[in-house]
Amino acid sequence: MAARPPRTPAADSVTPGERHWTGDAIREAFLSFYAARDHVRLPSASLVPEDPTVLLTIAGMLPFKPVFLGQAPRPAARATTSQKCIRTNDIENVGRTARHHTYFEMLGNFSFGDYFKAEAIRWAWELSTEVFGLDPRQLVVSVFRDDDEAANIWREEIGVNPKRIIRMDEADNFWVSGPTGPCGPCSEIYFDFQPERGDEGLNLEDDSRFIEFYNLVFMEFNRDAEGNLTPLAHRNIDTGMGLERMAQILQRVPSNYETDLIFPLIETAAALAGITYDSADARRRTSLKVIGDHGRAVTQLIADGVSASNLGRGYILRRLLRRVVRHGRLIGIEGSFLPRLGDAAITLMRPAYPQLEERRPAILAELEREEERFLATLERGERLLAEVLASQPRQITGAQAFELYDTYGFPLELTEEIAEEHGLSVDVAGFEAAMEEQRQRAKAAAVSIDLTLQGALAVVAAELEGTVFTGYDALEQPACVVALVTDGASREQAEAGDSVGIVLDSTPFYGEGGGQVGDRGVLSGGSAETPGDGLIVSIEGVNRNRSVFVHNGRVERGVLRLGDVVTARVDRSCRRRAQAHHTATHLLQAALKLVVDPAIHQAGSLVDFDRLRFDFHCPRAVTVEELRRVEELINGWISDAHALEVREMALERAKAAGAVAMFGEKYTEVVRVVDVPGVSMELCGGTHVANTAEIGLFKIVAESGVAAGIRRVEAVAGAAVLPYLNEREGVVKALAERFKAQPAEIVERVSSLQEELKASQKALAAAREELALSRARALAATAEAVTAAPDEEPFRVLVARLEGVEGGALQTAAQELAERLGERAAVVLGGLSDPGDPGKVHLVAAFGPAVIGRGLKAGAFIGAVARMCGGGGGGRPNVAQAGGRNGAALNDALEQAREDLRRGLNS
RNA sequence: GGGGAAUUAGCUCAGCUGGUAGAGCGCUGCGAUCGCACCGCAGAGGUCAGGGGUUCGAGUCCCCUAUUCUCCA
């Protein structure tokens, strides 16, 4: 990018020939600095965290949180990472300040019970001053108020000027992971853009002068529920250096946005809008910055397998995408541009994140799809707003603006903009009030669930060693009972009839995971050599709690005690069926990639005993023809009898070999690779057949959509195919019998029956109406003349029964009669719609204009008649319908109606 | 997790406070034209998402379910 003048007079400290630091170079320098100090260099974890209670990776240490909390083994004594992070809590500030981002990278070095304050401080200083070449006179450090130890190290060992060591309170320099748990003081390093202002009264909050770029957390205490601090047995170091901030400092630009980590995206967006960043006004600059920031965020989110949706992280992605589109419009970009922005983002970040390149087609497709969707939303909103404006209101109310926003996703700013074009204002205060109300509602509903609740099993599991799993090779083996849980509490023994959770030291039972269900089987007393007391425990399923396998079972006979040695035996037939489905799932993924789209990847999977379910990212439905080809391909592979090769290898090697990994899944360094040579290679911990021939047959049962952009294929394989076919055959047989047809003829028979039915229904309706009309015409002659005065033209009153006519036809008849009889006609028809059922009375009245002029209204009139038949009704003054339940009263009611008409018309 | 909205002809949508389901585009046929586009006339096409309820009567009101959209967390 072009060199930009620094905002501050720091330029005088630049020495000629000084190294130019690109963002990539800064990252590399950090990681290799710590790698040279025995840190294991780990790749950035996914933005989608393993912890299901956390929406996104919001900090560099998040992937290590379970390690710090003692819930997971440490990956190494020391580690260093560059972690991608997403934060959206103060999204409104993005682009308005120099440093707020939704997407950023956190460089970090970590010590898990290894080195502590002295090394952390020394290395941080060395890295900052010697590697990055920052002038010590331009650095300021902060320490926690009570942390004399850290202050001493800075002063004595490093030699920092005491005036440039600032003590801070808990709010700024004491780190906690939650109300309880590990915590400790921090120490931060700040860069001073204006060292010439001296050392007196330094205010680190002044971010026009200072920027914090390195935070060192010294985790040394555990805080209990009462707030007491006790020293930790293993003290940890957790640090974070904001990559964008360091780039801002080293590249001497006024904000993070002008570093080479983001600026190329801003330039891309500006070019698309036909403007330049330098000449843009403040509002457009802000929009450009938002696009630059969000462009990185959305690209990385999609690459990590997030797809836009209306909940959870999918919703965060959607919101970011829509903000990009909106700001694009604000700076004058017309038409679709997200794919081009995404393309630039991939190219920009590709050097550090090669997987972006692999996912390029999927990322661009998602961007395009989502942009299109948002444009449709905007169009709909504009239409609705136009309707509101058409009523020429004095202003747009808060409720109206909120409805547009809340229900139809139409942004407030756009409502304001369009209203302004019509010379109207929007009640923003009312809008905010409605929004606040909605927030309160959501909050009130949220407290009802308690995320901190942990079951007894989780507590037990946390204290145990991991279970050794032997089930890849063995289906039966002796094992020792190391824990028992019934009714949520740890027990010494369980008796016949008890439902119990059992942990064994080792087990052949597969624990539910990776989509595959847990094994079923039996634990029996004793071993082959020493038969027990007839103990039998049936196992219905096995869950995994971290690496501890919990067998859920029921004691059928005997007594199960802690410490017992039992024989654990997996149900072979169930296991075989699960294995067939699991291998078939791998074949399915491979086949879908070949037939439908190479970009297809898994979004979820279920491997059960009687079926398999595979969810995958795919923007459209898979066609029937494609499904047929997928089936053929898979059955071909099955009959080719491929022998599976399962081996363990280093993650990097597996990836290099082309093994399919799940996005967002975190893998250990050594992974298990399931290889169907030439067909499919996946990282997988599940159990599989030894040879594809064992699967026997594969049959797709259903294809459907689960969510926008996600499709689901359900299938059966192996032994599970037979029951499926039998069930289907049963249906066909029953149909064949009922239709007295050969199975192959059923479809034709049904459709011809349908046509016949439709035709005869139509004919019947037409005939009925025709009949009703002709009977009605015959009735016309029976109309009675009612005269009010001798010299006046008489009214024509017709009251009659007309049976077997549906409401609609009856009304047609009455209207036609009324028309024939002229504008002085009053027609009332009534009858049973079904002559055999006195419970369904239909009544119709049709009055000519002159009758209405006499104050008689068909609606009210027919209502009164219907009430005599136990019903009610109404309609318009000229024509009305009614009904009742009491057919026996119909004649009297009609007679009454005739009387009423006479009286009403001759007065 | 909690709100709001939508679902009507192949497509885009009307359908006001319950009273025989409509429009535009598309489709088919006929007319007009040397032929096409345009145009004129006629026609086909709907268990109003599914289920339950209220009512004499429900596309319309109420409840449940499904799908989609959307906001909040």
Nearest nucleotide over every DNA/RNA strand to the A708 CA, judged by C1': B68
Query: Rounded CA gap, A479 and A489, in Å?
Result: 22
Tokens of A765: 């309706």
What are the phi and psi torsion angles at A106 (to 5°)?
-115, 120
Is A867 near strand B, with its CB below 7 A from some atom of it? no
Is A315 near strand B, with its CB below 7 A from some atom of it? yes
Query: Rounded CA gap, A800 and A818, in Å?
Result: 13
Please say whether the beta carbons of A524 and A535 come within 8 A.
Answer: yes
Query: Rounded CA gap, A881 and A813, in Å?
Result: 12
Please say whether the beta carbons of A567 and A673 come within 8 A.
Answer: no
Q: Which of residues 805-824 of A touch strand B (CB under 7 A)?
A: 807-809, 811-812, 815
Q: What pLDDT score was predicted for residue A752?
A: 73
Q: What pLDDT score was predicted for residue A391?
A: 74
Tokens of A595: 């037939």
Is A620 near strand B, with its CB below 7 A from some atom of it? no
Is A381 near strand B, with its CB below 7 A from some atom of it? no
Q: Which of residues 702-761 of A touch strand B (CB under 7 A)?
A: 705-708
Q: Among the residues of A274-351, which ranges form H helices?
A: 282-303, 312-330, 338-349
Please say whether the beta carbons of A392 and A424 come within 8 A.
Answer: no
How far: A903 CA to B57 C1' (Å)?
29
Residues A867, A871, A874, A878, CA torsion sign? negative
3-state secondary structure of A486: strand
Nearest Cα neighbor of A140 from A188, A99, A200, A205 is A188
Q: Which of residues 227-266 of A touch strand B (CB under 7 A)?
A: none
Please say whether the beta carbons of A328 and A273 come within 8 A.
Answer: yes
Q: What pLDDT score was predicted for residue A497?
A: 87
Nearest Cα neighbor of A132 from A209, A25, A43 is A25
Q: Which of residues 649-708 of A touch strand B (CB under 7 A)?
A: 705-708
How far: A194 CA to B32 C1' (Å)?
86
Is A877 near strand B, with its CB below 7 A from some atom of it? no
Helical axes A624-639 vs A572-595, angle rounded to 10°: 120
The beta strands (E) that lie in A505-585 are given as: 506-507, 521-526, 531-545, 548-557, 559-561, 565-570
Looking at this protein, which amino acid is placed at residue A362?
Answer: A
Query: Rounded CA gap, A626 and A788, in Å?
Result: 80
Is A312 near strand B, with its CB below 7 A from some atom of it? yes
How far: A206 CA to B12 C1' (Å)?
57
Is A874 near strand B, with its CB below 7 A from some atom of it? yes
Q: Among the residues of A176-242, which ranges form H helices?
A: none
Is A878 near strand B, with its CB below 7 A from some atom of it? no
Average pLDDT per block of 10 residues along chain A, 907 residues long: 40 51 95 95 86 78 84 86 88 83 94 94 96 94 94 94 92 82 91 91 87 94 84 91 95 93 96 94 92 94 83 83 89 88 95 90 86 84 82 84 88 87 89 88 58 47 77 89 80 86 90 84 72 80 80 88 88 92 92 82 81 77 78 94 90 78 58 89 89 92 67 85 85 81 77 71 72 81 84 89 77 84 89 78 88 86 89 83 87 91 85
Please say whether the beta carbons of A315 and A372 come within 8 A.
Answer: no
* Chain B bases having any atom below 7 Å from a protein CB: 1-5, 13, 19-21, 55-57, 67-73
Is A438 near strand B, with its CB below 7 A from some atom of it? yes
Nearest nucleotide over every DNA/RNA strand to the A55 CA, judged by C1': B73
Q: What is the ipTM of this complex?
A: 0.82
Q: What pLDDT score was predicted for residue A451?
A: 32
Q: Please report the DSSP string for A808-823 in residue order.
A: HHHHHHHHHHHHHH-T
Is A448 near strand B, with its CB below 7 A from some atom of it? yes
How far: A410 CA to B27 C1' (Å)?
36
Query: Rounded CA gap, A859 and A881, in Å?
Result: 7
Is A89 near strand B, with its CB below 7 A from some atom of it? no
- Sheet (strand A879-884) strand order: A784-786, A795-801, A825-832, A841-847, A879-884, A872-875
Residues A155, A159, A163, A168, CA torsion sign? negative
How many CA atoms lie less than 13 Å away from A429 in the CB half-sphere? 1
How far: A65 CA to B49 C1' (Å)?
47
DSSP letter assigned to residue A286: H
Is A563 near strand B, with its CB below 7 A from some atom of it? no
Is A882 near strand B, with its CB below 7 A from some atom of it? yes
Q: Please report the DSSP string for A649-663 in residue order.
A: EEHHHHHHTT-B--T
How far: A315 CA to B59 C1' (Å)?
33
Name residue A507's beta-bridge partners: A469
